[in-house]
Amino acid sequence: MSINKLNINIKDKYIEQAFEILNFFKSIIIEVHHIGSSKLAKIPYDCDMDILFIVKSYDDVRNLADILIAEGYVQVNHFSDYFRDDMVMRKVVDGHNINMIFMSSASRKKNDILICTEHLLMNEQSCSDFKNLKKLLVKNEVTEAEYDERKYRLFQMIIDEGDHLTSV
């Protein structure tokens, strides 16, 4: 499969999955964002798709779990340390993991996630660094813990650079 075909399939899957969740919970979801590796163009390998759903409150997040589980989703309890305070649900679609991250609108992490996603889309060097790191994980040349630590450092550098650039 060509990279362009893979990217089109990813966009279609993102839209399909986002709308499926929005149809269930349109009254409590206030934002939806495609984040993570699958958002980046020309990634030469399959990866999980991560979709960030911003909900009105933490109470809304807790109330979603039972409904989604009844619909065939699986709650992921150890997705990553970064998302330990958020609810992550997973569904396998056409052999690919779709991770749905539900975060309260009060969370301070939302802006950092969106800043990093946008930066990776616009900055070729950072994007290349992230792709190389992802490749190391896919090839089992780093452990999951090493990958998470390096990714955290890369994203922290992006966030710190953004803070420096916007401060006056």
Q: Using alpha carbons only, what angle is made at residue 35 by residues 116 and 63, rounded to the nearest 5 degrees? A: 120
Distances (CA, A) of 87 to 7, 22, 93, 155, 159: 26, 16, 19, 21, 23
The mean pLDDT value of the chain amounts to 85
pLDDT tens digits for 18-48? 999 998 888 999 999 999 887 876 665 667 8
Find all residues with CB under 8 Å of 60, minimum gap 6, and list them.
25, 28, 104
Q: Which residues pair with 103 in a beta bridge?
A: 54
At 95, list the tokens.
Answer: 């052999």
What's the rounded Cα separation, in Å, for the pair 46 and 38? 8
Choice between 76 and 10, residue whose per-residue pLDDT is larger: 76
36-57 in b/e burial notation, b at 16+ Cβ within 10 A? Answer: bbbbbeebeebbebbbbbbbee
What's the distance, CA 15 to chain centroid?
14
What's the rounded Cα separation, in Å, for the pair 155 and 136? 17
Q: What are phi and psi of 101, to 5 degrees?
A: -100, 120
Whether the Cβ atoms of residue 161 and residue 93 lie closer than 8 Å to each other:
no
pLDDT at 43: 63
pTM: 0.84
pLDDT at 66: 87
Average pLDDT over residues 150-160: 93
pLDDT tens digits for 71-128? 899 999 888 888 888 899 999 988 888 999 999 998 889 999 999 999 999 999 999 9
